[in-house]
C-alpha cells in the first residue's frame, strides 16, 4: 500500500478540529411548558458564554469525522501495487518529411492528424497510463519515456516536427517491440501503409493518416565557381509531383538582393533543369520555389554556400628526356583545378623514382620509374601481364582494374614500401613508409608499357589529384544532402589543442573531436552550419533536403492494419479501485449526515391554552 499524493493526508488535520468544535457544542432538548407568563424573569436572564464540556459522542460527530477521513484519503489516492496495473502504450512515429505535408482543404498535416488521434486515445487509456514514444529515422529516437507520463509525452509531441528523408523503419520497429514486450499496446503511426509483403512486428498495429496531395520540389541543386571568369553557375532541377500542371515562381537572392525572379510552367509528373549565372563573392544564395498546389514546404527552399576553388599545385621535376615526361604533362593539362608550380609551393611533386622523397608532412610525392636508368638495369628489367594483385580498399585504386595492361620496365622492389599493386613477387606501385610525406613509387618504364593507353591511366591520376586535394586544409565540399557526412581537414601546423572545435546551428552548439581530418556525422536538420575553432570561424556548409521519392505525395492514403498476434485492447481502462470505494463511502456518509439532521431537527408544536 502506498499513497500517490501523500500531501492529501494533511486533510487529517480536520479530525481534531472537528472534535474540538464539538466540545463546545450544546444541544438543549425542547421543553413543553404552560403559563409562559410565569417564566418572565427566567426568559430575560442573560446566558453566559459557552464553556468547554465533556466531549459528547454523538452520531453527528462520528459521521463528520468519517466524512473528513474519507475526503483526506481520497485526496491522498491510496494504491496497492499488487492489484493496480498501468496501461502502457508504445507509439512509433514516422519521422519522414512527408508527414508535415498539409491538406489544402483542412489546413492539417498528417502529423497533426496523428497527434490528434493520440490525444483521443489518452482519454481512453486513463490517467494512470504510461507512454513510450519513438520516432523513426537513421537512428530511432526515444522522445518520451520509457513509461513516461502523458504530460511528458504531450510536450514531446508538441515539439515533434518530422523532416527526415526516406528511410527504413525496421530498426525503430525492433526497438518498439522490445519496449512493448507482451503487455503494452504497440502502434505505428505513418502516412502510408507498408506493402503486404513487408515484414512488420506481429503485435504492432499500423494506422495511416496520409492523404493524396500535389507537390512541387527542388530535387537537385549545385553551385559551380569558375576562377578564370570570376563567375558562378547555379544549377537546379525542379519536379512537378502532382496530378495537374502548375506555374512555379522561382526566386533567388543573396546579400539582400534578388538575382532570380521568373515563373515557369511545369507539366504533371515532369522535371525541368535550369541554370543561372551569378557573380562571384556572394557567399550564400537562397533559392525558393512556390506553386499554388504545393503541399510540402521543406523541399521548396534551399540555401547554397559558395564553393571555394581548391587548386592543386603540381611540380614536375622529371627531366624532359624521361619516358613519362610528356604523358604526365598531357594528363595534368586536362585535369580540373590543377596548376603547375615550383616545388616550394607544390602540393604534389612528380619526380624520378631514383630521387629521394621530400620529407615534409602533408606533401604528396610520386616517383616514376625506372628506378635505375643505367643501360644495363633497363635492359634487365622485366615485363609482366598479370595477374595483378590490387589493394581495392586503397583510395588510389578506386575504379582501377588493369585489364589488358602490359607492365614493362619492372625492376627490383623499392625499399620500405607497402604494396598497393603487386604480382607474385614484385611491387608495381608501393607506398613509402620511411618518410613523413605521402610518398609513392611507380615501378615501371612508361616507354615499355601500355598503361598510358588504358582507361586506368586517367582514373589513377584523378584519384591521386583528389586525394591530394582532400588532404589540404579546409572543407572538401560546402553543400550536402541530409544524412550525408561532412569532412574537412585542419591545418596540421596550426592545431591548438586548448581551443574547442565546435559546430554551431540555430544557436545550438556541438563539440567535435579534434583530429587532422574531422568527420561531422550526418545531420538531421537542414540549414547552414558553422565550424568554429575557438573564436575563429573555419567555414560554413549547408544541408538541404533533396529526396524525390519522399517529395512524391501521390501514393499516400489513410488506412489501418491490425496486428497478426493478439494485443491488449486499446479501450477504456478503470482507474485505481480504491478511489471508487472511497467515493462510494463518502456518498454514503453524506447521505447518513443528511438523515441524522432530519431526525434531530426541531419540530414545530402548537401551544394550547
Instruction: Note if the bond before 370 is cis, omega within 30 degrees.
Output: yes
CA distances to 100, 107, 115, 190, 296 from 110, in Å = 6, 10, 9, 8, 11
124: containing domain: 88-212+555-561
Residue 304 belongs to some domain of the structure: no
Residue 232 belongs to some domain of the structure: no
Counting as low any pLDDT under 50, the low residues of the chain are 45-47, 49, 83-84, 571-574, 607-609
Residue 347 belongs to some domain of the structure: yes
Q: Which of 461, 470, 424, 469 is nearest to 442 (CA)?
A: 461
Q: How many CB atoms lie within 10 A of CB 461?
A: 19
122 plus 144 within the same structural domain = yes
Domain boundary among 470, 504, 536: 470
| Domain harbouring 518, CATH code | 2.60.40.10
Residue 319 belongs to some domain of the structure: yes
76 plus 92 within the same structural domain = no
Q: Which of 400, 388, 405, 389 is nearest to 450 (CA)?
A: 405
Residue 305 belongs to some domain of the structure: no
93 plus 170 within the same structural domain = yes
pLDDT digits (tens, 9 = 90+) for 435-455: 989 999 999 999 999 999 999
Q: In this predicted structure, what is the pLDDT of residue 609?
A: 47
65 plus 94 within the same structural domain = no
H-type helices in 211-279, by residue range?
A: none
What 8-state DSSP symbol labels residue 191?
Answer: S
Q: Which of 235, 193, 250, 240 is nearest to 217 (CA)?
A: 240
414 plus 485 within the same structural domain = no
Residue 240 belongs to some domain of the structure: no
100 plus 57 within the same structural domain = no
200 plus 93 within the same structural domain = yes
Q: In this predicted structure, what is the pLDDT of residue 263?
A: 95
Residue 110 burial by CB count (10 A; 0-12/13-18/19+): exposed, middle or buried? buried
Q: How many CB atoms lie within 10 A of CB 451?
A: 20
| Domain harbouring 203, CATH code | 3.40.50.410
Contact assessment for residue 98 and residue 550, using Cβ atoms and an 8 Å cutoff = yes
Residue 147 belongs to some domain of the structure: yes
Q: Is 412 helix (H, G, I), strand (E, B) or coil?
A: coil
* Domains identified in the chain, total number: 4
Q: In this predicted structure, what is the pLDDT of residue 572?
A: 44
Q: In this predicted structure, what is the pLDDT of residue 286?
A: 97
Q: How many CB atoms lie within 10 A of CB 512?
A: 17
Residue 299 belongs to some domain of the structure: no
103 plus 22 within the same structural domain = no
397 plus 323 within the same structural domain = yes
Domain boundary among 441, 470, 499: 470
Q: In this predicted structure, what is the pLDDT of residue 37?
A: 60
Terminal-residue alpha carbon distance, the chain: 66
| Domain harbouring 379, CATH code | 3.40.50.880
Give the sheet arrangement for strand 438-442, strand by strand: 338-340, 312-316, 348-352, 364-368, 438-442, 427-432, 417-422, 389-390
454 plus 514 within the same structural domain = no
CA distances to 391, 468, 521, 544 from 396, in Å = 9, 10, 24, 30
533 plus 395 within the same structural domain = no
13 plus 105 within the same structural domain = no
Amino acid at each position: 500500500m502506498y499513497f500517490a499524493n501523500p500531501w492529501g493526508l494533511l486533510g487529517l488535520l480536520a479530525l481534531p478540529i472537528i472534535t474540538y468544535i464539538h466540545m463546545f457544542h450544546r444541544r438543549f432538548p425542547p421543553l413543553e411548558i404552560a403559563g409562559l407568563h410565569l417564566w418572565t424573569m427566567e426568559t430575560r436572564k442573560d446566558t453566559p458564554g459557552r464553556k468547554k464540556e465533556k466531549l459528547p459522542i454523538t452520531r453527528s460527530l462520528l459521521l463528520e469525522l468519517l466524512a473528513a477521513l474519507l475526503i483526506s484519503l481520497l485526496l491522498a489516492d491510496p494504491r496497492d501495487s499488487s492489484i493496480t496495473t498501468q496501461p502502457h502504450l508504445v507509439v512509433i512515429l514516422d519521422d519522414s518529411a512527408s508527414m508535415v505535408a498539409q491538406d489544402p482543404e483542412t489546413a492539417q498535416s498528417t502529423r497533426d492528424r496523428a497527434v490528434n488521434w493520440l490525444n483521443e486515445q489518452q482519454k481512453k487509456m486513463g490517467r494512470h497510463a504510461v507512454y513510450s514514444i519513438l520516432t523513426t529515422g537513421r537512428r530511432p529516437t526515444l522522445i518520451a519515456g520509457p513509461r513516461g507520463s502523458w504530460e511528458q509525452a504531450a510536450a514531446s509531441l508538441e515539439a515533434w516536427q518530422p523532416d527526415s528523408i526516406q528511410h527504413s523503419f525496421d530498426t525503430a520497429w525492433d526497438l518498439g517491440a522490445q519496449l512493448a514486450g507482451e503487455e503494452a499496446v504497440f502502434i505505428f503511426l505513418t502516412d502510408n501503409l507498408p506493402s503486404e509483403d513487408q515484414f512488420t512486428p506481429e503485435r504492432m498495429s499500423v494506422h495511416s493518416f496520409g492523404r493524396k496531395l500535389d507537390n512541387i520540389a527542388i530535387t537537385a541543386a549545385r553551385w559551380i565557381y569558375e576562377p578564370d571568369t570570376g563567375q558562378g553557375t547555379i544549377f537546379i532541377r525542379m519536379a512537378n509531383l502532382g496530378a495537374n500542371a502548375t506555374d512555379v515562381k522561382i526566386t533567388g537572392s543573396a546579400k539582400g538582393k534578388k538575382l532570380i525572379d521568373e515563373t515557369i510552367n511545369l507539366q504533371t509528373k515532369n522535371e525541368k533543369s535550369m541554370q543561372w549565372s551569378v557573380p562571384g563573392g556572394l557567399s550564400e544564395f537562397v533559392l525558393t520555389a512556390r506553386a499554388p498546389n504545393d503541399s510540402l514546404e521543406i523541399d521548396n527552399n534551399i540555401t547554397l554556400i559558395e564553393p571555394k576553388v581548391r587548386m592543386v599545385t603540381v611540380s614536375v621535376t622529371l627531366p624532359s628526356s624521361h619516358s613519362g615526361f610528356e604523358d604526365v604533362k598531357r594528363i595534368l593539362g586536362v585535369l580540373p583545378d590543377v596548376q603547375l608550380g615550383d616545388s616550394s609551393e607544390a602540393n604534389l611533386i612528380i619526380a624520378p623514382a631514383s630521387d629521394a622523397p621530400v620529407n615534409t608532412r602533408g606533401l604528396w610525392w610520386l616517383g616514376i620509374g625506372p628506378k635505375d636508368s643505367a643501360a644495363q638495369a633497363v635492359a634487365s628489367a622485366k615485363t609482366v601481364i598479370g595477374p595483378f594483385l590490387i589493394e581495392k580498399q586503397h583510395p588510389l585504386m578506386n575504379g582501377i582494374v588493369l585489364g589488358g595492361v602490359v607492365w614493362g620496365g619492372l625492376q627490383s622492389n623499392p625499399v620500405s614500401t607497402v604494396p598497393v599493386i603487386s604480382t607474385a613477387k614484385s611491387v608495381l606501385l608501393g607506398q613509402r613508409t620511411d618518410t613523413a610525406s605521402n610518398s609513392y613509387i611507380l615501378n615501371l618504364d612508361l616507354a615499355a608499357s601500355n598503361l598510358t593507353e588504358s582507361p586506368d591511366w586517367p582514373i589513377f591520376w584523378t584519384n591521386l589529384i583528389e586525394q591530394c586535394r582532400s588532404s589540404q586544409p579546409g572543407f572538401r565540399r560546402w553543400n550536402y544532402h541530409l544524412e550525408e557526412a561532412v569532412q574537412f581537414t585542419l591545418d596540421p601546423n596550426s592545431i591548438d589543442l586548448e581551443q574547442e572545435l565546435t559546430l554551431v546551428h540555430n544557436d545550438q552548439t556541438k563539440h567535435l573531436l579534434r583530429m587532422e581530418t574531422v568527420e561531422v556525422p550526418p545531420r538531421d536538420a537542414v540549414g547552414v552550419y558553422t565550424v568554429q575553432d575557438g573564436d575563429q570561424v573555419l567555414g560554413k556548409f549547408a544541408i538541404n533536403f533533396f529526396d524525390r521519392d519522399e517529395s512524391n505525395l501521390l501514393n499516400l492514403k489513410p488506412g489501418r492494419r491490425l496486428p497478426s498476434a493478439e494485443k491488449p485492447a486499446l479501450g477504456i481502462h478503470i482507474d485505481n479501485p480504491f478511489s471508487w470505494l472511497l467515493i462510494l463511502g463518502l456518498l454514503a456518509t453524506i447521505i447518513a449526515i443528511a438523515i441524522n439532521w432530519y431526525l434531530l431537527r426541531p419540530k414545530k408544536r402548537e401551544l394550547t391554552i
